[in-house]
A and B are shown apart, each in its own frame.
Chain A
């Protein structure tokens, strides 16, 4: 596992030494990306090659559950809300091409241009997939954050001009009359630059005011959501947020981490714009961007992992992850269908591996038993894990082939023998974000409190409250900023409490137990490891009963199902 807190930075000289070319590695990466294009997009049609399903049929491979109606492989990897192309597969084709171009830039360009090129490739990808207005909004928002965090009189004026022009591109409708366009194209950059020079810059020189402004820009998403909720509560229905800003808001966790790094003195004052943008704009951010922010780390981690080892070794590690991702992306549904068929033959109802379907059935008077609750929740987790693993492995792989030596997001969670370890293995970066943003601030303020209580409060703050807030953000950003979205997440409070409590208990248990033995050692305790792993996974799966309410279900229904899962029948 990599260092997350170390202040040791990689020098550019070290990076140059690590930046040696190997054309075979490049060919291998491009070949794997071509496989992705062939399997998931209309590349076969465009090139006149036989469709993936035809090839699978020719090879007598069992094909059900893998292909879509276009005879391509059905995938969870997607370009969410990409509206420029009619077919979702075409969006993916653009994405893979952007990844390939970004990879070549990061591989062959001189060191000083690499990170800037990655940001530029990402922005170009956003512009092609969503439109130039969306790319301009993302860029403008980030430029504003950069100006607030790294004020500079001379450079700031020019960046202010670009910010204003990005604002013009983002928010002035294309249908406006030409004169309006010309006016805004000239006036907005000047206004923003002047506002920065004569208003914002003096404010940023007052430390307390600067701290408030930094907090506001980092938490702009929270501010907008709260504003929308207030308007919704007052009967106004809220307002629509442009897609470009939504994309920016979805980077809230990463902005928070950047802010923490900044407060910890880990971000240099004179950080260049391209290095700032490279933290947030990487092609790995684009696919399925609403599924958690992959690698929600700030400057220190991202920058310290860039070319910190031999470039080809990092790229090959990315290639390996691309291969693993491919397996999950292609076979997840096939695996699920075969498992469900197996349980069906055994006479166990698993409700399409969906807790929500089980809850729905129960609220309509269906009979549910303990085995069904346990297996359905287990299968629900397996489904989530298989689909999640494919997408996040792909995203992390893209970071890696672009030169970032970063850890996988998900790392064999089935090997965890306690909940704390499971959480780490299941959602490593998300957990790191919650620990640094919620656990640490609480934990270090309670130095006079008993360690056990400190751990409990810290765990509840991170896995409970922090997790709840992060879910609420995601729900509001993804499904609309209104009370219904917030209410839905609040309804699932028991899941967060049980997760936080479970993690605290597992931490306290691990502290009491001397860890002289490594889990999964082939000795007489191996069976205990096996049992501990099952209990851990089953507990995590079962508490999701509280996280999957339906419109018709009440808390009592979920509670009854949960209790049924632990063997107590309250029906």
Chain B
């Protein structure tokens, strides 16, 4: 799965699960500030990532560096997929 597939998949999920956030969802949209709403939104996203990409997510992965925006989140998923397959 390449990076654009990951971004598209994440974008579809976020638009479906957290609709009408009042801002356009781009790769640079601040997910933690403008999209996720709160810590339970993170739980939803973690479950999606685990199910959809088959990756294992730890408590320490939940931080602003990985979950800042679509770009950082997709990079995190790609890194995790690489380490799983590699």
Does B68 lie within 8 Å of A6, measured CB to CB?
yes
Chain B residues touching A, majority SS: helix
- Enumerate chain B residues within 8 angstroms of A439, measured Cβ to Cβ: 39, 43
Which of A214-222, A269-277, A511-519 faces chain B? A511-519
Q: Known contacts A2-B33, A5-B32, A516-B16; is A424 also within 8 Å of B38 by CB?
A: yes
Does A443 lie within 8 Å of B65, measured CB to CB?
no
A100 within 8 A of B: no
CA distance A542 to B67 in the complex (A): 38
Does B64 lie within 8 Å of A8, measured CB to CB?
yes
Does B43 lie within 8 Å of A458, measured CB to CB?
yes
CA distance A342 to B21 in the complex (A): 40
A171 within 8 A of B: no
A202 within 8 A of B: no
- Enumerate chain A residues within 8 angstroms of B68, measured Cβ to Cβ: 6-8
- Enumerate chain A residues within 8 angstroms of B51, measured Cβ to Cβ: 451
- Enumerate chain B residues within 8 angstroms of A264, measured Cβ to Cβ: 60, 63
CA distance A517 to B18 in the complex (A): 10
B33 to chain A, nearest CB (A): 4
Does B40 lie within 8 Å of A447, measured CB to CB?
no
- Enumerate chain A residues within 8 angstroms of B20, measured Cβ to Cβ: 518
A1-54 interface (Cβ within 8 A of B): 1-8
A432 within 8 A of B: yes
B10 to chain A, nearest CB (A): 16
A424-450 interface (Cβ within 8 A of B): 424, 428, 432, 435-436, 439-441, 443-444, 447
Does B44 lie within 8 Å of A511, measured CB to CB?
yes
Binary contact readout A495-510 vs B (1 if CB under 8 angstroms, 0 otherwise): 0000000000001000
A241-291 interface (Cβ within 8 A of B): 264-265
Does B39 lie within 8 Å of A5, measured CB to CB?
yes
- Enumerate chain A residues within 8 angstroms of B64, measured Cβ to Cβ: 3, 5-8
User: What is the size, in residues, of chain A's interface with B at 8 Å between Cβ atoms?
Assistant: 33
Q: How large is the interface on B (under 10, 10 to 19, 20 to 34, 35 or more residues)?
A: 20 to 34
Does A4 lie within 8 Å of B16, measured CB to CB?
no
B33 interface neighbour in A3, A514, A517, Cβ under 8 Å: A3
A444 interface neighbour in B19, B38, B39, B57, Cβ under 8 Å: B57
- Enumerate chain B residues within 8 angstroms of A192, measured Cβ to Cβ: none
- Enumerate chain A residues within 8 angstroms of B60, measured Cβ to Cβ: 264
Does B32 lie within 8 Å of A516, measured CB to CB?
no
B42 within 8 A of A: yes
Does A1 lie within 8 Å of B37, measured CB to CB?
yes
Binary contact readout B35-56 vs A (1 if CB under 8 angstroms, 0 otherwise): 0011110111011001100001
Does B47 lie within 8 Å of A511, measured CB to CB?
yes
Does A5 lie within 8 Å of B63, measured CB to CB?
yes
A5 interface neighbour in B42, B43, B47, Cβ under 8 Å: B42
- Enumerate chain A residues within 8 angstroms of B62, measured Cβ to Cβ: 5, 440, 444
CA distance A518 to B37 in the complex (A): 14
CA distance A455 to B40 in the complex (A): 10
B5 to chain A, nearest CB (A): 21
Does A441 lie within 8 Å of B16, measured CB to CB?
no
B59 within 8 A of A: yes
A435 interface neighbour in B18, B39, B58, Cβ under 8 Å: B39
A434 to chain B, nearest CB (A): 10
- Enumerate chain B residues within 8 angstroms of A4, measured Cβ to Cβ: 32, 38-39
What residues make up the interface of A, taking CB atoms closer than 8 Å to B? 1-8, 264-265, 420, 424, 428, 432, 435-436, 439-441, 443-444, 447, 451, 454-455, 458, 507, 511, 514-518
Can you sample 13 A-B contacts with CB below 8 Å? A1-B37, A4-B38, A420-B40, A432-B38, A435-B38, A439-B39, A439-B43, A440-B59, A458-B43, A515-B17, A516-B16, A516-B19, A517-B19
What residues make up the interface of B, taking CB atoms closer than 8 Å to A? 16-20, 30, 32-33, 37-40, 42-44, 46-47, 50-51, 56-60, 62-65, 67-68
Question: With A441-B59, A444-B58 given, can you name 12 additional A-B contacts, CB distance below 8 Å?
Answer: A3-B32, A5-B42, A5-B64, A264-B60, A432-B38, A435-B39, A440-B39, A440-B59, A444-B62, A447-B56, A515-B16, A515-B17
